[in-house]
Structure 1
Amino acid sequence: MRTLRNFSVLMIAFCLLFIPSGVYAQKSMVIGGNVIKANLSSAVLSNYQIQYERVTGPFQSVAIGFSISPNVKLPFGGSLSDAVGGDDDQIVKAIESIRFTRFSVTPEYRFYFGQKGAPGGFYLGTFARYTHMSMENIYPFTTDDGIEHEMEVKGTFNGYGAGAMIGIQWLLGSSITLDWWIIGPFIGVMNSKFDGVDNHPTDKLTPQQEADLEADINDVELPMWTVEADVQDMKATVDLKGPFYGARFMGLSFGFRF
């Protein structure tokens, strides 16, 4: 079976879903210690974000951000298909059929070092992040007797992480802000589960074929990840556990104060 390569490529595709948007342009409404920000540049990738920042002391603030990507395709899926799929129609279909919905919550604490205090100047921030994602796609594979199957796969991801970030926020006049996220790496843990159903109308997998498919999935090597698969009765369940990491970097956000 060509399941081992297909599954490895599919995992690479899923990892792309958790790469944060590199450039942020945010808009907000400001005149004091409150800043509301709406991310504009990430909307190009169908990732819609808002953030609220509140000054809590002369040099401190807290913020909370929300983002959602509703029922969208895999970002850069076409490029990934060209790079790893080539002429393999099964890999191309597995990648291009991915649809996902992702929701994230990011609470943050900032300490400002500038003489004017919060919310302007150079800052050091710490933050936590929770991400939930649901996805579905078609996972094609070919049995050892040459019959093509398509498994309908649905999965969920839950990631919990924390990190630190440095940046600069400029106060432009009485109500405009420009916030530059320089770098903000984070790390945590992620749990995910996939359920697949093979609805082939005539060819049913034999117990040996199901055992081979299960072994192929379990043999996939993902650094620092554990993979546990169970395949029986034309159904597959795969549990994955591993690190959740990424970075908020080179983000540029516009805002309003009030």
Structure 2
Amino acid sequence: MHLIELSIAKFEENLCRLKASETVCSSSFSSISQKLTRLQDLHECVENFLLLPLTQQALAQECGDKWINELLDGSLRLLDVCGIIKDALLQTKECTHELQSIMRRRRGGDMSFISEVRKYLTSRKDVKKAMNNALKVRESNCTDKNHETPAVVNMLKELDAVTIAVFESLLSFIAGSKSKSSSWAFVSKLVQPKRIACKGEEVANTNELEKVDAALQSLVSHKSKKSDNTIQVEDVQIWLQDLEANIQDIEEGLECLLRRLIKTRVSLLNIFSH
């Protein structure tokens, strides 16, 4: 069992790295991307672990129907949540791209432009609702280690739990704040020239999706007056470009993770089918 013990130790090491990133109080695409990268490393570790003959033997011999069902249900749940997030990001990216196209052709006061902005905001509301629903219906998973449970099973259950935790962070990030006052707080920060000068410091932990939502809502609602302190259409265009690029980066990370989730599920199905 020496190889299994070494693999579990490596798993714990990668798990500590991931949990360390979760303690950082940051709500931005960069922090989400970092978590996804470390989560991929953790899943790669488990992939290799499941290829060990001793691991397969331990799972086949020590897992009763209860553990088999829990592990397979857990892997299926991860695939479902990952799919929900991917669909939400794709929808947001497509709307972002359409909005950028019309902004390049139209002026800020054009009714077609305003209509496209409202379309984007409506789409974001639908996405937020889907994300919040996904958070509500998520099954709670017992993550307490049980000494009577095989070590291999404990490790796989902990992997499920930490993956769901990262997915929750991403779901919450996409859903954004439910408070209108907090959204307008983004606007007040972003329209002040003095603060824009040090934007890297003030907005480092800003939820980029909320920033764009608030700016577009400000334009549609005509809250910004024509002065040097208003949010300009040109500024929003830049934020939308950055947003699309960031979403693309997260999508690529999720795609890599999805492939690993599928590999893990296939490995489990093969092991338990013997």
Greater relative contact order (CA < 8 Å, ≥ 6 in sequence): 2
Q: Greater share of strand residues, 1 or 2?
A: 1
TM-score, with normalisation over the residues of structure 2? 0.24
Tell me the TM-score normalized by structure 1: 0.25
Larger relative helix fraction: 2
